[in-house]
Amino acid sequence: MKKKMLAALCCITMLAAALTGCGSKNASTETAADAGSGAGAGAKIALITMDSIDQHWISLNEGAQKAAQELGVEVTFMAPNTKDDAQQIECVNNAVAGGYQAILVAANGPDAISSALKEAASAGVKIVYVDSPANVEAEATFSTDNKAAGKTAGEQMIAALEAAGVSSGDIGVINVNAATDSCVMREEGFRSAFEGSAYNILETQYGEGDAAKSQSIAENYITQGVVGIFGCNEGSTTGAGNAIKASGKADIIGVGFDKSDAILNLITDGYLLCTMAQNPDVMGYEGVKAAVAAIGGESLGGAVTDTGVSVIDAAAAGGASPAAAGSDVTASQAWKISLITMDSIDQHWVTLNEGAQAKAQELGVEVTFMAPNTKDDAQQIECVNNAVAGGANAIMVAANGPDAISSALQEASAAGVKIVYVDSPANVEAEATFSTDNKAAGKTAGEQMIAALEAAGVSSGKIGVINVNAATDSCVMREEGFRSAFEGSGFEIMETQYGEGDAAKSQSIAENYITQGVVGIFGCNEGSTTGAGNAIKASGNTEIIGVGFDKSDAILNLIDDGYLLCTMAQNPDVMGSMGVEACVKALEGESLGGAVTDTGVSVITK
């Protein structure tokens, strides 16, 4: 599809255009929208982005159209040709006048279109945010953790400058405007990376996301002798790269956001160091599914889902992250990769292995799944040692804890074995890590519980926490995020109890919590969550709010039956697939720089 075709579409002319497909309903509760088939085929959804030109929005629309085809609904892409509040407001009004039942919107700023969105909501139109929200309540939001991603961009620039022997100097920032929340957060995160350093971040200049305007700004920065330039979106980044290219000063470090052919070419040619690549297609796809669920009467609770980000540098600029699906990596031989997870029983690890095996088959390499039957440091160490002894070229590992297997991994690395982390890292340098932002996801779990308790009129009470152990980093971060959600509230988070990820042990812990009169229980992994749900079921007290992590048939059934409110669903298959690809890239001689990729999380409710 020629992307410029979409650029010609605007909100005034798009009311008559639509893409419709035949839909089907998956009986699983895997996503928030699976129960949305009650909306029926032909539901009308408007997609309103900041403009219709940037490749970011075109990709978002492509994801939305894919979901529309699967679900049998109509999604109309109606966006201004340029970022303009008045035009975006007009698009919202046209959507309401055109009888659309839901609006997916990426707001130019938090306030400009708020009145129009409030009127739409009052008229019964469901609002779902993609990429950038406004200050109006919505059914759900699908976006990037922009502040964290901005900080990553800053860290990438610092590392490159220091590697070039540059420890101080001026750095320019090109943003879209002072109101677009997503870009403001990116800049805030970027600036935070430089706190305490000798670098001087210059006053931000605004290019309205226009590549030509941004290039002029960047050229002015270059005349001031900057050592680096940061672009906050696609147009800003393209402009910065073009200015560096025109100047001939390839020692200026350019870092930016979003992914387009122009940006990837600038990275490949050495005029940009890297870009933070979001997943706009995922935003669009999941946004449509959420809209359909809301139209069908499902309450999504305003959940915010982080759709992830990856660092794309010159090694990955063929169109993917250092290990993203769909890249052009080729294995020169049948490399041997060992996959060592915390256990071999939890469905989370089984799914991770499935993703790994699918990618192994695609690339023509061998992945051996060798994990303990239960979470046990000694057994996991033995697995690492056996992998090395068996001639493994690379090890993908989800560490029980940050330290327990570190010595074994260091020995493996010293023997030339490549290390890649999936789900949970250890304190040993690795080629790359593919995991969930567990602290953020844990906070989301806490917010889900608070909302459900308050909706039931409960503003205080005891809450139990079931964790795996005190060492497993991923679960420790989940608990930390969960507890942070309750700071300043009237709820009391009890002392954590550890069930080693075993469902039966966790059920016993949960039953003890219930005898103490808790109003909620949080499970930090699959076994903990299953145990909590089973205990609530056995007690018959469905007023207790159970929230957890991971996705299995048992957990989904407990949610369906009302014994758990929701679970934070990771993407273990993505971790497995990306992990294998990273191993192959490392074995083929590519430097992945220890990049950490957030593979995303979704809230699964009934």
pLDDT tens string 110-154: 899 999 999 999 999 999 999 889 999 999 999 888 888 899 899
Residue 321 belongs to a domain: no
Residue 36 lies in a domain: yes
Q: Is the pTM of this model over 0.85?
A: no
Q: Is residue 190 part of a domain?
A: yes
Which ranges of 194-278 would DSSP assign to H, the alpha helix?
211-223, 234-247, 261-268
State the residue range of the domain holding 366.
333-436+573-591
Q: Is pLDDT at 420 greater than 80 in this prediction?
A: yes
Instruction: Tell whether 401 and 484 lie within a shared domain.
Output: no
pLDDT of residue 532 exceeding 50: yes
Q: Binning pLDDT at 50, 70 and 90, where does residue 328 land?
A: low
Residues linked to residue 206 through DSSP beta bridges, in sequence order? 175
Residue 363, classed as helix, strand or coil, is: helix
- How far is Cα 384 from Cα 411, in angstroms, rounded to an integer? 9
- Let me know if residue 384 belongs to a domain: yes
Query: What's the rounded mean pLDDT across residues 215-239?
Result: 96
| Per-residue pLDDT reduced to its tens digit, 424-454 | 899 999 999 998 888 888 998 999 999 999 9
Asked whether residue 273 falls in the same domain as residue 288, the answer is no
pLDDT value for 317 = 54
Where are the alpha helices (H) located in 72-134, listed in sequence order?
A: 85-97, 114-122
First to last CA, the chain: 37
What pLDDT band is residue 278 in, cutting at 50, 70 and 90? confident
Domain co-membership, 13 together with 132: yes
Whether residue 418 sits in one domain with residue 270:
no
What pLDDT does 316 receive? 60
Q: Is residue 316 part of a domain?
A: no
Domain harbouring 9, CATH code? 3.40.50.2300
Same domain for 97 and 155: no
Higher-pLDDT residue of 312 and 169 is 169
Do residues 104 and 224 both lie within one domain? no
Residue 596 resides in a domain: no
Q: 577 and 523 in one domain?
A: no
Res 10: pLDDT? 34
Kindly tell me if the per-residue pLDDT of 229 is higher than 90. Answer: yes
Number of structural domains (the chain) is 4
Q: Which of 128, 62, 139 is nearest to 95 (CA)?
A: 128
Rounded Cα gap, residues 148 and 151, in angstroms: 5
Helix (H) or strand (E) holding 160: helix 146-163
Whether residue 156 has pLDDT greater than 80 = yes
Q: Are residues 8 and 139 in the same domain?
A: yes
Residue 338 included in any domain: yes
pLDDT digits (tens, 9 = 90+) for 301-327: 898 887 877 788 876 654 333 333 344
Same domain, 17 and 80: yes
For the segment 396-411, the average pLDDT, to the nearest whole number, is 94
With a cut of 50, say whether residue 20 has pLDDT above it.
Answer: no
Same-domain check for residues 452 and 559: yes
Report the candidate in 398, 396, 394 with the shortest Cα–Cα distance to residue 425.
398
Q: Is 60 helix (H, G, I), strand (E, B) or coil?
A: helix
* 395 and 350 belong to one structural domain: yes
Pair 464, 488 in one domain = yes
pLDDT at position 517 is: 97
Q: How far apart are the C-alpha atoms of 106 and 130, rounded to whole Å?
A: 5
The CB density around residue 377, as the number of other CB atoms within 10 Å, is: 17
How many CA atoms lie within 13 Å of 476's alpha carbon, on the beta-carbon side?
11
